[in-house]
Structure 1
């Protein structure tokens, strides 16, 4: 095999998987990604000042400024999540792949709590802003029932299948940002610089900061940055390279949010303290700030644009929630009926009904009290942030460990080659032969075997200084977010009760459904790897292919030959599986979860492995053709490769040292043995 194709084989395998869904699709660039995220996170400023004022009063702006630093660190981590986990899913995918699927289910419950409250609080806040223009719909009861009507309408629109458009998000985001800037310009044209600094001093003169109040304010102000998680849901519809696109988009998010949110929070709560104290006006405070010096025109424009954008954010939360329901069902944690689609429109009506009905129930439960909704918000948001950060730290640490191991192995390999070369030179000199020492042959053999040098080049970045700095900052971010979450668990008992209750019910249902599937003979596989990374030396590799009646023979032979000190690796080469339609916004794309035959095959392997008490087993699912088995074999470096003898023509280019045949009741299996 040509050296170039071998050294690039891992890149080819991974890139083919990533390009599967991208060709011919309308993907989102940095500007549209910014629009979707800002249309979500940018709405938080409309209700955060009033809610935060109830607990920290005039220090609301200070705490939003303080938390802004952690928000920047979080944005760095979420930018990395988008390219490490291109299938989307955010905390569900990160936690499932970095830790285990049960943590993925836990992350799903956290983000569902966040989505339920986002849908409720955003839609209610939108109606309250609209009441600035039409005071007749003010009060509590009328806005509550209008909000319920809006949520029902959004549910119907999703049932019909009207998808959310990034271009509509762009229009809304631009209008919102321009409106925010217009408010700031208007305020600063009427507020001198000494007066502005006087407001800053006023924050601290009227309020004493204690360690407890500092922690409570820091934890509570994360509400101002809810919506950041939506960037990780855009990976399947994001242009490549994900790292660059997400980096630019989140830089724009940090700049636009950083310019508007802290200043608007500070100015609104300090210039309009009476409005911040009023239950109704606190939910309209940004519009009232616009009207203070901007007059009725700016106040009305901000009220209408805020109302529209908040309802739009509520719809985004509904879409995110029902996609998480679908993902958890496909993972085997929620009942399969959640996946049902109606025959008329082809949309997942039961998932949509849950994503719409639960926020309505929450609104009725608190009877439209937006401050109570704000208090309930902290659990799911910070729980999802914490689990995502922890999962990414684990992935980074694994990369660092792998990179160090590969560098050490490469160093050992070079030393061995140098010794062999030196010995060949000595023999050549001793014999005074005209034959040249075989230095080139040794190096060529190393490269042709997919040697460690090529793998080190791919993971060497993990040993560089910037990676280590990034790792340290990431761990610091995780600690700060967990501290904020832990603080809210104590200071916001209502959030803990609601979020914890939903999580316990959801995890209980997941446990019940998991056990039910096991009793029915469907054993869920703990972790399925969908990207090759690094080598798997001294493993037993069992290659499985679609529509192959001899997969059972390969599985049984692999398990029969398994031992405690030999890792067992099941590789399913699924071939290309084109999607029936383009991925939609907030959708979680995982080819394995859509491949029922692969899931059944792995389930059989897992059941037999559990019965045989095989301790060390790994499952890899790749959307590659069986013809690429040779390249994958050279990337993995297995000691024993098992293939069905009826399909051995697909693996004729594998170059084992020895071949052993095994006859099983389900067919004949070839063992391709190799000493690397």
Structure 2
């Protein structure tokens, strides 16, 4: 690379690691998540009461324990996928790009219904103060959604500071309601109230399953923490963990109790079609006064509309990410000349919720039922993807442990075998990529899954990782169970969510097929968890006119062996991303995507069964770190790049003219 590029990368690195520069700490991350998930308590009691009656509070409390397990997984997702995207990134990297597209459809269903449900619920709460709005809530909601779409077209941006103010007001209001209720009833009366939930309500296996599945509505919004990864301070796992700890405490203190009191202390209101959607505010008025009731109604209404806007922003960013992944048409990315905003994406993110509201005639309980498909589908796919990543890490770690055991045995016997040398080299690779090296892959921002070398599975730490792994598997089972229950128990949700997902996947397949017919194959970046012995590493660099010569040489030299295509992109441009933006350099690098597409097309013709595509923005030592992970037999680079490649120690270097006589390429051969 040229000296100017190196200087730019160094500057970028220094800016990237400057603490607190325009990024969110635990408190602001909590605020953004609570401003989303904290609104669920305003509509969950009424919707859940329609399904399970007085047991609504019990099921929210029961599901809280699974919610806590979910937060552990989402904290890790936020750290592993710093580019954001949540379920889209997890599923695409861990399973398959098509699962990433499916995850995108699930989260879009979730966002569509969040926008519709939150906005409609916000108007219902506002009608507590202005009752004249109640009969016209549907049309007012449509007008508000249209206004939010226009504001996003103009260029309104989410503000974590505004979220903090709203979240604090909502949390203090929730606490004020609970303090007011407890000031009127004794602890004995409260315990008797909880016991009365089960009076005349036998918890049958069917009711237990249906209630468990439905109560996840109380925790919708948790997925937003993974969308904040690009704007988090580092270390991300610590920030996300502290933020979610605050979420667990604040939601755990408020949601189960407010659901219980709202439904048990107001049985008449809970059965009234209109008041059923205003239960928390009415609870404040019944046990407090009109001022508390009005304050809760106004703050709830504002926060719900704010959550609706957040869903619109999240939806159009997912649209754009799926388009950059080439699953959706490119027009989705187009920006208007006047404001520079993605008007087609915004129109879709706003228009679909409006259509949904019209289809269900503004019935809040139907929207709540429909919510389950996308929410639990996204939860399930995220959990499964993370389990797959963890399993791969454990498998790779066991292989390394076996190699290191061989090394120790060889050392004790006074000689070092070829296998032991391999283990020793692998260990040096760990130093480069693990916690003890200067370049920790946890700090990368290109979206690569954390390498297995970052974890030690020995001792107490290894015991915790084992427990954490199996807790994660249990979490996946419970969430998938809840989703499966809802698929059967809520056919409307299944019909709507399934239709949207199928339509979206149909568009994705058509778009993919169109690109293929035009000779361009959409290729996702892949990850390397372990060595690929005997492989070919083809190094491609930005703006290099000889990249295609490297591709042809690598494929001709492969002879059936695995080929890893490494594209070293331009240095990252230091900037603070917007909230909910998916920041993946590869998705924005058209040259890299086009080159990988050509490589994939030629690799298929050459019948190369194992091929990987790795993308890394340039920084010093980039090629060497990938080289250490892959352990290739042959590294192929343009001949003029050899002097600029650092920290690679091949056994020999040979040169040849590339197929077709295009240029001279170098083979850097290593016998590991």
> What is the TM-score of this pair, normalised by structure 2?
0.91
Secondary structure of 1:572's partner?
Answer: strand
Alignment partner, residue 61 of structure 1? 57
The aligned counterpart of 1:72 is 68
Q: Spell out the pairing of 1:265-304 with structure 2 (5 A cutoff).
A: 265-304=259-298
1:200 aligns with 2:178: no
Separation in 1, partners of 2:10, 2:490? 44
Q: How does 1:528-539 map to 2 (within 5 A)?
A: 528-529=526-527, 534-539=530-535
Is 2:568 the partner of 1:573?
yes
Q: Indicate which of 492, 495, 506 corresponds to 2:493.
A: 495
Unmatched segments (≥5 aa) in structure 1: 1-12, 424-441
Change (3 A) 1:606 1:455: same
| Deviation, structure 1 residue 207 | 0.8
Given that 2:30 and 2:247 are in contact with CA atoms closer than 8 Å, whether structure 1 keeps it comes out as yes
User: How many positions carry a matched residue from both structures?
Assistant: 640
Q: 1:116 aligns with which of 102, 112, 115?
A: 112
Q: CA RMSD in A?
A: 2.4
Q: Deviations over 1:642-664 (max 9, x none)?
A: 11123332237633223333322
CA distance in 1, matches of 2:573, 2:633: 33
1:494 deviates by 0.3
Residues 260-318 of structure 1 show CA distances to partners (whole Å, capped at 9, x for unaligned) of 00000011100101111111101001000000021101000000000000000000100
CA offset digits 1:27-74 (Å, max 9, x no partner): 000000000000000000000000000010000000000000000000
1:365 is aligned to 2:359: yes
Cα distance in 2 between the residues matched to 1:60 and 1:490:
20
In 1: Cα distance, 2:258 partner to 2:646 partner: 67
For residues 83-122 of structure 1, the aligned pairs below 5 Å read: 83-122=79-118
C-alpha distance in structure 1 between counterparts of 2:432 and 2:27, whole Å: 36
- 8 Å CA contact 2:63–2:216 kept in 1: the answer is yes
* C-alpha distance in structure 1 between counterparts of 2:327 and 2:402, whole Å: 41
Using the alignment, how far apart are the partners of 1:290 and 1:445 within structure 2? 66
1:523 equivalenced with 2:501 (yes/no): no
Distance 1:347 1:494 in 2: 34
Contact 2:430 2:454 in 1 (8 A): no
> Take 1:386 and 1:502, find their aligned partners in 2: how far apart are those partners?
18
Per-residue CA shift, 1:112-170, capped at 9, x if unaligned? Answer: 0000000000000000000000011112xx11111111111111111111101000000
Indicate the residue corresponding to 2:369 in structure 1: 375
Task: Say if 1:126 and 1:307, in contact at 8 Å, map to a contact too.
Answer: yes
Q: 2:638 aligns with which of 644, 649, 654?
A: 644
How many Å separate the matches in 1 of 2:569 and 2:506? Answer: 33
| Secondary structure of 2:288's aligned partner | helix
Seen in structure 2, the aligned counterparts of structure 1 residues 341 and 72 have a Cα distance that, compared at 3 Å, is same
Query: In the alignment, what sits opposite 1:438?
Result: none
Task: Name the CA shift for 1:18/1:605 in 2 (closer, same or farther; >3 Å).
Answer: farther
Alignment of 1:340-359 (within 5 A): 340-359=334-353
Aligned position for 2:127: 131
Partner of 1:49: 45
Question: CA offset at residue 444 of structure 1?
Answer: 14
CA shift in 2, pair 1:95/1:634, >3 Å: closer
Find the aligned partners of 2:371 and 2:423 in 1 and give their Cα distance: 59
Asked if the contact 1:574–1:625 (Cα under 8 Å) also holds between the matched residues in 2, the reply is no
Using the TM superposition, give the Cα deviation of residue 410 of structure 1 relative to its aligned residue in structure 2, in angstroms: 1.7
Q: From the superposition, tell whether residues 410 and 16 of structure 1 become closer, same or farther in structure 2 (CA, over 3 Å).
A: farther
Please give the per-residue CA displacement for 1:540-582, whole angstroms capped at 9, x wherever unaligned: 1111111111111110111112233x21111111131315x52
Give how far 1:414 is off.
3.0
Could you tell me how far apart the structure 1 residues matched to 2:621 and 2:110 are?
45
Q: Confirm or deny: 8 A CA contact 1:543 1:572 kept in the other structure.
A: yes
Structure 2 partner of 1:157:
151
In 1, the alpha carbon distance for the partners of 2:210 and 2:646 equals: 65
> Which SS does the other structure have where 2:85 is aligned?
coil
**Which residue does the alignment assign to 2:251?**
257
Residues 67, 221 of structure 1: 8 Å contact kept:
yes
Q: Aligned partners of 1:378, 1:445: CA distance in 2, in Å? A: 48
Distance verdict in 2 for CA 1:14–1:476, change over 3 Å: farther
What is the SS of the residue equivalent to 1:641? strand
Change (3 A) 1:641 1:417: farther
SS of the counterpart of 2:223?
helix
Give the conservation status (yes or no) of the 8 Å contact 1:539–1:569: yes
Gaps of 5+ in 2: 1-8, 437-452
Instruction: Summarize the Cα distance change of 1:21–1:323 in structure 2 as closer, same or farther, 3 Å threshold.
Output: farther
Distance change in 2, residues 1:113/1:167 (3 Å): same
Match of 2:502 in 1: 504
